Structure 1
Amino acid sequence: MSTLKERPLDRTKFRDPETTADGAARAHVDLKRLDTLWFNTGTLCNLACTHCYIESSPRNDSLVYISRAEVAAYLDEIEALDLGTREIGLTGGEPFMNPEIIGILRLCLERGYHVLLLTNAMRPMMKRAEELKALKPLADGKLVLRVSLDHYGQEVHETERGPRSWAPAIEGLCWLARQGFAIDVAGRDLSGEGEASLRDGYAELFRELELPLDARDPAQLVIFPEMDETADVPEITTDCWSILNVVPDSVMCASSRMVVKRKGEARPKVLPCTLLPYDQGFEMGETLSEALGQVSLNHPHCARFCVLGGASCSAR
């Protein structure tokens, strides 16, 4: 008998934003505070990973490069609405492929925000090494660069990210550490060996590389659950909060939003979180003021990643 995880997704699920397939009341999440505003810097990437949830690649420009001016407009709105936002997240694609990324970083840091930037630490980042080093005085205590290492071993990592992707990532990660940048690492349970074993493996890698990282600290080594949209997953009902002993405020969309700019569209759009970049059913408007409302947990990722997986994309 197949397990729920092994079965294909029941296509009667996740259709109605108010009701689950069996007629129960679907769970919703209210925005309690906008702690983190994410910007997708563009879906172009130097890699084409096997299981990239956002389908980034050297050819996918479905989400185009966001500009410094567009980011500035949202920072202005944060301040005009007195939202108290603490953190700006920058993700891709590979953010260092965006020609304005250094200007965007400088803008966010100069405005006093903590910044979390997700990168594969490969050639696009190293091409901007001198510009990045020049930001170091602004970055201290405010910038964290999260490097994607999908496994502590080269074989599994390159099965996901492609041949010759390991050594440049390790080189970039070590370069960041030598320069004194704050770093953490994002891994994934691709091997199915479980979190304890993964943390043991990463701990040994960090020791070998002499990296200032504690693999036992979930903020310094973030291990994300897998997000296969084709695999079955339970829908989250209002009763699930008490059954699972999970509070709605712990879910990512209770404290964050993401801005994307789709190819061919004149202005960026605001979405509930980083996981749903293409689903137009989750668009909340073009401004933050339009995007402060309730979010229906009406997508498999809401269950798999956030509620059941207990994951979040934010920093420490």
Structure 2
Amino acid sequence: MEETVAQPLKLLDPRKFRDPWTTADGEPRASVHLKKLETLWFCTGTLCNLTCEHCYIESSPSNDSLVYISVGEVAAYLDEIEREGFGTTTIAFTGGEPFMNPDMVPILDEVLRRGYEALVLTNAMKPMMKVSEPLLEVHQQYGDRLTMRISIDHYSKDVHEQERGKRSWDPAIQGMQWLSEHGFNLDIAGRLFSGETEEQMRAGFARLFEREGIGMDARDPHQVVLFPEMDEKVDVPEITTSCWSKLQVSPDAQMCASSRMVIKRKGANHPVVVPCTLLPYQPEFELGQTLSESFQEVPLNHPHCARFCVLGGASCSG
């Protein structure tokens, strides 16, 4: 049998994603309005206990380009939500590793005390387990309004550790088991990077859950969220205004139609708001310091907008 040789990926055309309102072919670029602020994300900081092979936000033990958000800064945005009547229901957290932020448990208490749902994207490793006792107290007080989303890139140890490094599997599984044993709401953030179909991935996670005694349904897309890969160096079509009807996709279904993310840059005096979790480093996507300022049109002028959201049909809110 003749061996199939994988073809190299085509690199992104440098003419693409330059003008915010016009594509390289001169067509009007698609954009999205914030319809309703359903989910507000906070980047808790880019410091992480791991250095993953393909981390879109480049988190590591040394990357503090986005610094820790404080409980006071989070509270100020919650005050704005309530003052302006935005009707936001979910406050979500990503990093870095959120539990490296020393304010993370007090932040969760503040959010849950005010009646919001909370979602935390964590690797469930040592930083989380170091605060297991106060975290358990928060869970016992607020119960089902807290969901822990664990980053398990693949259902097998070998493939997971190819991405996250040696000795990253066992602590994550132990953390997931601890959360499960104590009745936390759980879901999994996996990735479609192994060449397997979604069905194969879900079958693999089902075997993992059964083997480890985790009471989760791998077939439920809300319990196992499988994200498409992101590589801004690889070519992808630009999204034009005519794509909505051609693809039968609605702009209202995009992440930036229902969410925003707050980040704080190193050396900055105040946090700023960006459209979503995928664009923390691009200053052209800053929408102001307040949530009210962020209610503006967002041009889909980045490869992640096309590959992850429109064509990939993904959303970090799950």
Query: TM-score under structure 2 normalisation?
Result: 0.97
Match among 211, 233, 236 for residue 233 of structure 1: 236
Question: For residues 217 and 29 of structure 1, what CA distance do their matches in structure 2 show?
Answer: 28
Which residue number in structure 2 is paired with residue 245 of structure 1? 248
TM-fit CA distance, 1:207: 1.1
After superposing on structure 2, the runs of 4+ consecutive aligned residues of structure 1 that deviate more than 2 Å are: 2-5
Deviations 1:211-254 (A, max 9, x none): 11111111000000000111000000001111111001100000
For residue 23 of structure 1, what is the aligned residue in structure 2? 26
Q: Deviations over 1:28-72 (max 9, x none)?
A: 101110000000000000000000000000000000000000000
Pick aligned residue for 2:261 from 253, 258, 261: 258
Task: Answer yes or no: is the 8 Å Cα contact 2:144–2:184 preserved in 1.
Answer: no
Matched, 1:38 2:41: yes
Alignment deviations for residues 138-196 of structure 1 (CA, whole Å, 9 cap, x no partner): 33120100000000000000000000000000000010000100000010012111211
Contact 2:50 2:164 in 1 (8 A): yes
Matched, 1:205 2:201: no
2-structure distance, mates of 1:5, 1:21: 23
Distance 2:60 2:51 in 1: 4
User: Which whole-Å CA distance do the structure 2 matches of 1:243 and 1:26 have between them?
Assistant: 14
Q: Which runs of 5+ in 1 are unaligned?
A: none
The one of 78, 81, 91 aligned to 1:78: 81
Compute the displacement of 1:5 (Å): 8.6
Give % identity.
62
Secondary structure of 1:103's match? helix
The RMSD of aligned alpha carbons is 1.3
Say if 2:9 and 2:234, in contact at 8 Å, map to a contact too.
yes
Question: Within the alignment, does 1:142 sit opposite 2:145 as a pair?
Answer: yes
How far the C-alpha of 1:137 sits from its partner, in A, is: 2.7
Q: Partner residue of 2:94?
A: 91
Given that 1:5 and 1:232 are in contact with CA atoms closer than 8 Å, whether structure 2 keeps it comes out as: no
SS of structure 2 residue aligned to 1:116: strand
Bigger drift between 193-202 and 282-291 goes to 193-202
**Residue 187 of structure 2 aligns to a residue in which SS?**
strand
Kept in 2, the 8 Å contact 1:4–1:233? The answer is no
Please say if residues 47 and 64 of structure 2, whose CA atoms lie closer than 8 Å, have aligned partners that are also in contact: yes
Tell me if structure 2 keeps the 8 A contact 1:45–1:58.
Answer: yes
Q: How many residues align?
A: 314
